[in-house]
């Protein structure tokens, strides 16, 4: 196998920095220069790798969804039973652990907020399609259970981003009851 070119070896470094920076500052609040600084390389080099900010953000989203799928696979592998509900629960637990890294969670939230950007909308749809398909294939659950699984994932996003565990009110208890998350 031929050694990786400098650009091939730096792409994962830039993508990881993009996940962190876009997770922190969002699409509109983060520049290519911010990502470059976090990666320890020049903005010109990042621009050589990703000619437009949209493409850099999409690369970060693709990496985010790859991490999600890897976590879901670990969860499915750890399920205590092959029953669909057990597999989905184990996958949900693995996802809850994963979004303890708020950058991954916030990157998804930020992406939803700029879904009018065609490339970002397409990347979000693709990522959601990958997660939905994977959950269906690994769990063998029916469509209603898969919909419930995805909906609970979105509810976890709200609970974590709004720190609803810290809200001592009946409405917050209603939303957080029975849901494990970091």
pLDDT digits (tens, 9 = 90+) for 13-28: 999 999 999 999 999 9
In this structure, how many other beta carbons lie within 10 angstroms of the beta carbon of residue 158?
A: 12
Going from N- to C-terminal start, the domains of the chain cover 6-176
* In the predicted structure, residue 3 carries a pLDDT above the cut 60: no
Q: Which CATH number fits domain 6-176: 2.60.120.260, 2.30.30.30, 1.10.357.10, 1.10.3720.10?
A: 1.10.357.10
What pLDDT is stored for residue 169 in this prediction?
A: 93
* In the predicted structure, residue 9 carries a pLDDT above the cut 90: no
What is the arithmetic mean of pLDDT over 27-43? 97
pTM of the model: 0.90
Q: In angstroms, rounded to a whole number, what is the distance separating the alpha carbons of residues 95 and 72?
A: 6
CA atoms in the 13 A half-sphere facing the CB of 103: 16
Q: In angstroms, rounded to a whole number, what is the distance separating the alpha carbons of residues 95 and 23?
A: 17
What length does the chain have?
Answer: 182
Q: In angstroms, rounded to a whole number, what is the distance separating the alpha carbons of residues 20 and 17?
A: 5
- Nearest alpha carbon to residue 181 among 145, 152, 146: 152
Report yes or no: 105 and 129 within 8 Å, Cβ to Cβ: no
DSSP character at residue 116: T
3-state helix, strand, coil in the chain (%, to 5): 80, 0, 20
pLDDT 10s digits, 138-177: 999 999 999 999 998 899 888 888 888 889 999 999 998 8
pLDDT 10s digits, 107-140: 999 999 999 999 999 999 999 999 999 999 999 9
Report yes or no: 30 and 46 within 8 Å, Cβ to Cβ: no
Mean confidence (pLDDT) of the chain? 92
What is the arithmetic mean of pLDDT over 98-112? 91
């Amino acid at each position: 196998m031929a050694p990786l070119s400098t650009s091939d070896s730096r792409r994962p470094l830039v993508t990881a920095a993009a996940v962190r920076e876009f997770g922190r500052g969002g699409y509109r609040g983060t520049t290519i220069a911010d990502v470059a600084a976090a990666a320890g390389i020049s903005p010109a080099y990042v621009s050589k790798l990703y000619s437009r900010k949209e493409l850099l953000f999409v690369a970060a989203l693709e990496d985010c969804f790859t991490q999600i799928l890897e976590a879901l696979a670990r969860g499915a592998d750890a399920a205590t039973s092959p029953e669909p509900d057990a597999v989905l629960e184990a996958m949900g637990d693995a996802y809850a652990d994963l979004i303890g890294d708020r950058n991954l969670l916030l990157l998804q939230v930020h992406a939803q907020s700029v879904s009018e950007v065609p490339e970002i909308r397409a990347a979000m749809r693709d990522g959601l399609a990958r997660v939905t398909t994977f959950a269906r294939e690994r769990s063998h659950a029916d469509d209603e259970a898969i919909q419930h699984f995805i909906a609970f994932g979105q509810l976890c996003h709200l609970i974590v981003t709004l720190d609803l565990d810290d809200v001592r009110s009946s409405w917050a208890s209603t939303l957080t009851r029975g849901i494990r998350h970091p």
